[in-house]
Structure 1
Amino acid sequence: MRAVTWALALWLALLGGAAHGAGRGSAAEAQAMVGKAVLYLQQHGRQKALEEFNRPQGQFRDRDLYLAVFDLQGNGLAHLNPRLVGKATGDIRDADGKAIFQAQRALALEKGRGWVDYKWPNPQSGKVEQKSTWLEKSGDLIIMCGIYQ
């Protein structure tokens, strides 16, 4: 991870996301959502958790924050975009050609959690924007939530 991006994420977390404005989630909120999802998975099991993670109006959707869940092979299990659920997404690349899932998987396996930066379409703006995603590995799942810069 680039030091500048980590410093920005930390700064946003300390400020509580004030720089993002009312319509955008903060780094701290993304981390909290992933933590809540990991706990929900542990308490309710995989099937019920994935059902809840995929619910369009569920507790794991807040403004531009949403969960993405993949298994270690890159199969989409939960996402705001239902076209990614049930699909092998290991080869998806961002606007700059970065292999997003490969970077996420490597971090999950190496450290268990952390931030990955890439470019992704923002569902609120409809534009491709810089995104930083917090992820945590839980068993054979990678649970993620990102913030748009």
Structure 2
Amino acid sequence: MPKRIVIWCLPILVLIILLPTRRVAGRDQRAPVHQADEIETLVNKAADLIESEGRTAFAAFRRKNSPWRYGDVYLFVVDLHGVVLFNAAHPNREGRDLLQEHDAAGKQFHKDFIAVVRESGSGWVDYMFPRPRRSTPEVKWSYVCGTSVDGTPALVGAGVYVE
């Protein structure tokens, strides 16, 4: 192999090896590097707030340009039956049972969210979903964490779009 190709490929290989691996819906996947720790911290803090304040926390989560919602980052909450309890960027999804919903690639990502929470308590799921104010689905990774909303087992999540 020519030396120039090896030198060019080496940093990419190192990056791939160093990416954190997460258990995702029964298989190992690479979590996104961009904002991963930030998203995990956000979701874990939101889970704690939901545990202590219940649905009243949703009002704070909905505010744009806040620590809970900024850029393309927003929180969503789904009960463990697939009913959307809260979605800051897509409030029209609230109250809907989306367990059977498929993404553009045919993946039932709500089932994956629930499986990750039931199996591990938290983790990353990849799927196709449009950014806020857009209609074309893009690759998105969401971190989900188990919580309880006023006594109802649920999950809270937020994600990052792969650029």
- Bucket of the pairwise TM-score, normalised by the shorter protein: 0.7 to 0.9
Alignment partner, residue 23 of structure 1: none
1:84 to 79, 93, 98: 93
> What is the Cα deviation at residue 110 of structure 1?
0.8
Moved over 6 A (4+): none
Q: Which amino acid aligns with 2:158?
A: C
What is the identity percentage for the equivalent residue pairs of Structure 1 and Structure 2? 29
Aligned mates of 2:129, 2:119 — CA distance in 1:
24
- Which amino acid counterpart does residue 143 of structure 1 have in structure 2? V
Deviations 1:13-59 (A, max 9, x none): xxxx3xxxxxxxx112211110120121133x212123333345554
* Counterpart position of 1:74: 82
Secondary structure of 1:61 counterpart? coil
Change (3 A) 1:64 1:129: same
Aligned AA for 1:50?
Answer: F
Task: Map 1:1-149 to 2 at 5 A.
Answer: 1=24, 3=28, 5-6=30-31, 9=32, 12=33, 17=34, 26-43=35-52, 45-56=53-64, 58-79=66-87, 80-123=89-132, 126-139=135-148, 140-149=153-162
Distance 1:78 1:41 in 2: 11
In 2, distance between residues paired with 1:59 and 1:4? 28
| Counterpart contact for 1:64–1:124, Cα < 8 Å | no
| 2:65–2:71 CA contact under 8 A, matched in 1 | no
The amino acid that maps onto 1:83 is: N
Count of aligned positions: 132
What's the C-alpha RMSD, in Å, of the aligned pairs? 1.9
TM-score (structure 2 length as normaliser):
0.73
Distance 2:49 2:29 in 1: 32
The amino acid across from 2:129 in the alignment is W
TM-superposed CA distance for 1:138, in Å, is: 1.0
In structure 1, runs of 5+ residues without a counterpart are 18-25
